[in-house]
Structure 1
Amino acid sequence: MHLGGYSVTFFSYAAIYLIWGSTFLAIRLAVDSIPPLLMMGVRCVAAGALLLAWAAARGERTGWRAWRQAIVAGALMFGCAYGALAWAETRLASGVAALFVATLPLWMTLFDCAQRRETPAARTVVGLAVGLAGVVLLLARTGTTTFALIPAAVVILGEVAWAAGALYARRLPQTLALNAGMPLLTGGVFLIAASYAAREFRQFDPHAVSVVSAAALVYLIVFGSIVAFSAYAWLMQVAPAARVGTHAYVNPLIAVVLGCTVAGEPFTAAIAAASLVIAVGVALVLAS
């Protein structure tokens, strides 16, 4: 399928590469004055509701079985992964958080092999080891002002949850609006419930939300969730999981550049070295 001479596949990859790369900074700006779990919950519920309204207007319907699957996928991909990232970015630079997210293709490949009951190739195993070495290199800097061990581990565990949820989400309805909207909505409800349990509502003052945080949240809803995740959901139906996971190559680069130029975040030699090691590990996995 083509649109204006360019393939839908090209635009879909561009969306998950460029837009998702910019969302790390947007998240950092949003959580400056909005509690992290609440912010992510509002983002996902709003985006999911809009997509499902679009699906309903088109006459698309689904059953309870699909909703059960969406609850699992949404809890893993958004409740766990997005919640973990939002919380961690109150303690991590956005570019550094993106580097830990760059391990996603490693977990996607591991789960994909387990799902297919295949033994990973030797190059895949080497790539996994190299990628994890890059993570260790970043973690070795724990205790500096740049990041700490606990939020780093939370981000990585969130990516493990995303990988499991993304592969599970392949069972969802094939229509784009339902495929993207259902897990967004269910994951958003999960996040808002977690926000309530964490007592974020008691600390939240709507009048204290800055214009920058509000604008960042709108950007995350429209572009980060509706546009980019719809593209991701479609690609996961038509392309290999490992190839779709290559957005983790480009996202950290964009996140680091934006973090340094817009937010004044530090970029050290250790971060540069870890970026290279993680990229090599992911490249080995994807080439196997």
Structure 2
Amino acid sequence: MSSPRNPLFIVLAFFSIYFIWGSTYLLNKVAVTELPPFMLASIRFMTAGILIFILAKILGKSLKITRKQFLNTMIAGFLFLAFGNGISVWALKFIDTGIAALVISAQPLVVLVLLYLLDGKKILPMSMVGVALGISGIYLLVSQNEIVSNENFYLGITMIFACLISWSFGSLFVGRSNLPTNHFVNTAYQMFTAGIMLGIASLLFNEEWSSPDIWSGRTQLSMILLVIFGSIVAFTSFNYLLKVVSPEKVATSTYVNPVIAMLLGWYFLNEQITTQSILAASILLTGVFFINTKKKLVIFSRFTSKLPLKNRKI
């Protein structure tokens, strides 16, 4: 059963993954300065998962899924959240929020390469131009001496790059896997199982757990916003989009997120934004335009829709 392509839902979902997710870098950065990373992520996702389960029941949705669907939600939860998000939160201890978000913006390139390797899909020149602009923007940002000179910078970048690969593969996995058809139920199982996995990782790393009532006010607020908006709203939107639009188009959110993250990091955390950083962000947004434009060529779309899957270009 395919998901309905409601234009309004699609617009709102893209707003969520573009702007709400862009703010989660700031929220995670605030929280991780006080809390251990795996504990932080575990509490966030287990809480969000439980709340979504409750919401699904209130809406009259069945929580019953098949064994195969449960296994697939666990795999997706690991790729997106347990590894993809858990490690990125850890990396924020070493790098600025804007830098982390900008490195993740290489996801469209990884998605295109994976589609080529796994499905044999050829890549359109328009797509390559967009990806090249994105990579150029990354280079402009990380080539700044004042950023690279920070302690443990390369460790943080390496961790973020590992998350990028995990998230990209997860995007393709979800798009072609047997998962619960209801997006709330799907999200709930992914988050709850990922929260358990992160909790186990936290114990293995001997992280010290603490009660929310002793956290600072800004950490408490950050966690509430992460649970409600970053997890429930944005991640449900993400799962919805993966079923109704192409994975490479969903991946364009990683071009917008860095701009939001950089601005919020500058305003709230006094993170540095240089002229070169602004130029890099501009180039990334241009890359979004090139990647999206190819889908609006009506004649091309009608032609490729009649081709076998292996011959379609992306």
Output the TM-score relative to the length of structure 2: 0.82
| Residue identity in the other structure for 2:161 | I
Question: Given the alignment, which residue of 247, 250, 253 partners 2:256?
Answer: 250
Q: Deviations over 1:120-164 (max 9, x none)?
A: 223434444443343344343464238711101211220111111
Alpha-carbon separation, structure 2, partners of 1:208 and 1:266: 31
Secondary structure at 1:262 match in 2: helix
- Structure 2 unpaired stretches of 5+: 295-314
Secondary structure at 1:26 match in 2: helix
Deviates more, 1:102-111 or 1:89-98: 102-111
| Residue equivalent to 2:103 | 100
User: Over alpha carbons, which structure has the higher Rg?
Assistant: 2
Secondary structure at 2:180 match in 1: coil
Output the TM-score relative to the length of structure 1: 0.88
Q: Is the 8 Å Cα contact of residues 255 and 284 (structure 2) preserved in structure 1? A: no
Secondary structure at 1:155 match in 2: helix
Question: Given the alignment, which residue of 132, 141, 165 partners 1:160?
Answer: 165
| Residue equivalent to 2:15 | 14
| Residue equivalent to 2:229 | 223
Alpha-carbon separation, structure 2, partners of 1:46 and 1:234: 21
| Residue equivalent to 1:236 | 242
Alpha-carbon separation, structure 1, partners of 2:67 and 2:56: 16
Q: Is the 8 Å Cα contact of residues 103 and 282 (structure 1) preserved in structure 2? A: no
1:64 aligns with 2:67: yes
| Residue identity in the other structure for 2:55 | W
1:259 aligns with 2:256: no
Deviates more, 1:10-19 or 1:224-233: 10-19
Alpha-carbon separation, structure 2, partners of 1:162 and 1:149: 20
In 2 relative to 1, CA 245–186 (structure 1 residues): closer, same or farther, beyond 3 Å?
A: same
| Residue equivalent to 1:85 | 88
Paired residues for 1:136-147 under 5 Å? 136-141=139-144, 143-145=148-150
Paired residues for 1:112-191 under 5 Å? 112-141=115-144, 143-145=148-150, 148-170=153-175, 171=177, 172-191=179-198
Cα shift at 1:233: 0.9
Cα shift at 1:82: 0.4
Q: Is the 8 Å Cα contact of residues 66 and 173 (structure 1) preserved in structure 2? A: yes
| Residue identity in the other structure for 1:266 | Q
Alpha-carbon separation, structure 2, partners of 1:21 and 1:228: 10
Q: Deviations over 1:193-229 (max 9, x none)?
A: 111111112xx44465211111101110011000111
Deviates more, 1:68-77 or 1:57-66: 57-66
| Residue identity in the other structure for 1:55 | A
| Residue equivalent to 2:204 | 197
Secondary structure at 2:269 match in 1: coil
Q: Is the 8 Å Cα contact of residues 22 and 255 (structure 1) preserved in structure 2? A: yes
Alpha-carbon separation, structure 2, partners of 1:269 and 1:200: 39
Q: Is the 8 Å Cα contact of residues 249 and 291 (structure 2) preserved in structure 1? A: no
In 2 relative to 1, CA 286–154 (structure 1 residues): closer, same or farther, beyond 3 Å?
A: farther
- Count of equivalent residues: 284
- Structure 1 unpaired stretches of 5+: none
Alpha-carbon separation, structure 2, partners of 1:182 and 1:113: 30
| Residue identity in the other structure for 1:20 | W
In 2 relative to 1, CA 239–145 (structure 1 residues): closer, same or farther, beyond 3 Å?
A: same
In 2 relative to 1, CA 114–257 (structure 1 residues): closer, same or farther, beyond 3 Å?
A: same
Alpha-carbon separation, structure 2, partners of 1:183 and 1:121: 33
Q: Is the 8 Å Cα contact of residues 5 and 244 (structure 2) preserved in structure 1? A: no
Q: Is the 8 Å Cα contact of residues 20 and 234 (structure 2) preserved in structure 1? A: yes
Cα shift at 1:24: 1.0
In 2 relative to 1, CA 84–147 (structure 1 residues): closer, same or farther, beyond 3 Å?
A: same
In 2 relative to 1, CA 115–50 (structure 1 residues): closer, same or farther, beyond 3 Å?
A: farther
Q: Sequence identity of aligned pairs in percent?
A: 26
| Residue identity in the other structure for 2:88 | L
